[in-house]
Chains A and B, each alone.
Chain A
């Protein structure tokens, strides 16, 4: 039973790592600020959730589990809030998203599968 749970935890960790790398590539390659924001915001929160749940499933002591849960909740509060504030400020200070697609910027960048 222990082995199964901890291997599920390992799976979560691995998934988190993969999504983290995908998010990183997205932040690097998307064409403008808002799409990058999307990659970073969604990716970050998801990865944090996955990795922390994975760590919880490794079954450390209960004090550690409580700390992990606190960190998880804090990230769930903090991450979307700061993303929201950042995007709002950027928009109000007059940063406009890319509306029409440039030829070279489009190829392989704005992947349709992201949303």
Chain B
């Protein structure tokens, strides 16, 4: 199935259709992850691959136009190169262990330790959360920083020097039209949005026991805000959610993560060693994981909101510029 969709993406000229097929591709790969027992990964891929990335691609296409004009070139050379690389890689797989083989080298080194001892050492049933937040906490800290930096990069590339003034007649007209068209949509979304926010909090704090955690919860939280922004117009969403505050929050999330590490150092442990946070090591681990997931969640949610606001704000800026050019 995945292969079919990928081939279809190659052949499709219409960029809009490509984006939609990418959404389908994301859903499919997420179901694949579920069959491979990777429920946390499926969770993330579902909310990211099928949701946020589709929204971002769509906003980009709305700015750049939907048709691919030039025909693909360098056809033959590229094909030969690709087939050669593929053949080499397939040759390389001959030495790999069989699929699902329990004694494969990848499954023999640290994984048994995680599976057997983490209940005693960390006390969290979800192994993925335990490894993510506790054993590999330093790694995750780096990832959070990468996300934070990407948010700053988008802000630098697409941010506007002056925040747009409210009350631009033409844009407001466009929004009003959209609102009147979709009355049913608006009412249903108004009911759904609190539910989505609640669900995000559930995912955030239930991550120790089931699939979920800071990354997923952040993305879902951001998705609710994005839904609001899409339906009620960007200026309304800006009025509800203060953009400098969101920017501050993304920093605070990353800081919270780092601070937990620093506090554990001050208490005599290593950086990000939560056992020393409280007198009982297991309770300390629980507290540390909770705080860290909270930091991750805040950072991811606010970075996603920043990215969306900047993309959508750019669209409005371009529309306004175009209408001003028409008038002047």
User: For residue A77, which residues in chain B have a CB less than 8 angstroms away from its CB?
Assistant: 188, 191-192
Please tell me if A85 contacts chain B, counting CB pairs below 8 Å: yes
Please tell me if B182 contacts chain A, counting CB pairs below 8 Å: yes
User: For residue A81, which residues in chain B have a CB less than 8 angstroms away from its CB?
Assistant: 184-185, 188
Q: What is the distance, in angstroms, from A97's C-beta to the closest C-beta of chain B?
A: 19
Interfacial residues of chain A within 69-104, with CB under 8 A of chain B in the complex: 74, 77-78, 81, 84-85, 88-89, 92
* Complex alpha-carbon distance, A74 and B195, angstroms: 10
Q: What is the distance, in angstroms, from A103's C-beta to the closest C-beta of chain B?
A: 30
User: For residue B185, which residues in chain A have a CB less than 8 angstroms away from its CB?
Assistant: 81, 84-85
Q: What is the distance, in angstroms, from B111's C-beta to the closest C-beta of chain A?
A: 28
Q: What is the distance, in angstroms, from B294's C-beta to the closest C-beta of chain A?
A: 24
Q: What is the distance, in angstroms, from B177's C-beta to the closest C-beta of chain A?
A: 10
* Complex alpha-carbon distance, A85 and B188, angstroms: 11
**Chain B: which residue is nearest A89 at the CB level?**
B181
* Complex alpha-carbon distance, A60 and B184, angstroms: 35
A92 x B181 contact (CB < 8 A): yes
A85 x B184 contact (CB < 8 A): yes
A88 x B181 contact (CB < 8 A): yes
* Complex alpha-carbon distance, A78 and B188, angstroms: 8
Interfacial residues of chain B within 161-181, with CB under 8 A of chain A in the complex: 181
Main secondary structure of the interface of A (DSSP, over half): helix
Interfacial residues of chain A within 53-72, with CB under 8 A of chain B in the complex: none
* Complex alpha-carbon distance, A3 and B131, angstroms: 42
A88 x B188 contact (CB < 8 A): no
* Complex alpha-carbon distance, A89 and B180, angstroms: 12
* Complex alpha-carbon distance, A10 and B192, angstroms: 31
Interfacial residues of chain A within 9-40, with CB under 8 A of chain B in the complex: none
User: For residue A84, which residues in chain B have a CB less than 8 angstroms away from its CB?
Assistant: 184-185
Q: What is the distance, in angstroms, from B199's C-beta to the closest C-beta of chain A?
A: 9
* Complex alpha-carbon distance, A18 and B185, angstroms: 30
A88 x B182 contact (CB < 8 A): yes
User: For residue B191, which residues in chain A have a CB less than 8 angstroms away from its CB?
Assistant: 77
User: For residue A74, which residues in chain B have a CB less than 8 angstroms away from its CB?
Assistant: 192, 195
**Chain B: which residue is nearest A88 at the CB level?**
B181
* Complex alpha-carbon distance, A85 and B191, angstroms: 16
Residues 184-216 of B, flagged 1 when their CB comes within 8 A of A and 0 if not, give: 110010011001000000000000000000000
Q: What is the distance, in angstroms, from B185's C-beta to the closest C-beta of chain A?
A: 5
User: For residue B188, which residues in chain A have a CB less than 8 angstroms away from its CB?
Assistant: 77-78, 81
**Chain A: which residue is nearest B177 at the CB level?**
A92
* Complex alpha-carbon distance, A78 and B191, angstroms: 11
A85 x B182 contact (CB < 8 A): yes
User: For residue B192, which residues in chain A have a CB less than 8 angstroms away from its CB?
Assistant: 74, 77-78
Interfacial residues of chain B within 191-244, with CB under 8 A of chain A in the complex: 191-192, 195
Interfacial residues of chain B within 127-184, with CB under 8 A of chain A in the complex: 181-182, 184
**Chain A: which residue is nearest B188 at the CB level?**
A81
* Complex alpha-carbon distance, A45 and B296, angstroms: 36
* Complex alpha-carbon distance, A84 and B187, angstroms: 13
User: For residue B195, which residues in chain A have a CB less than 8 angstroms away from its CB?
Assistant: 74
User: For residue A92, which residues in chain B have a CB less than 8 angstroms away from its CB?
Assistant: 181
Q: What is the distance, in angstroms, from B12's C-beta to the closest C-beta of chain A?
A: 19
**Chain B: which residue is nearest A81 at the CB level?**
B188
Inter-chain pairs besides A74-B192, A74-B195, A84-B185, 7 sampled, C-beta below 8 Å: A78-B192, A81-B185, A81-B188, A85-B182, A85-B185, A88-B181, A92-B181
Q: Chain A interface (Cβ within 8 Å of chain B)?
A: 74, 77-78, 81, 84-85, 88-89, 92
Q: List 5 A-B contacts (CB under 8 A).
A: A77-B191, A78-B188, A85-B182, A88-B182, A92-B181
Q: Which 6 A-B pairs have the closest CB atoms?
A: A81-B188, A85-B185, A84-B184, A85-B182, A77-B188, A81-B184
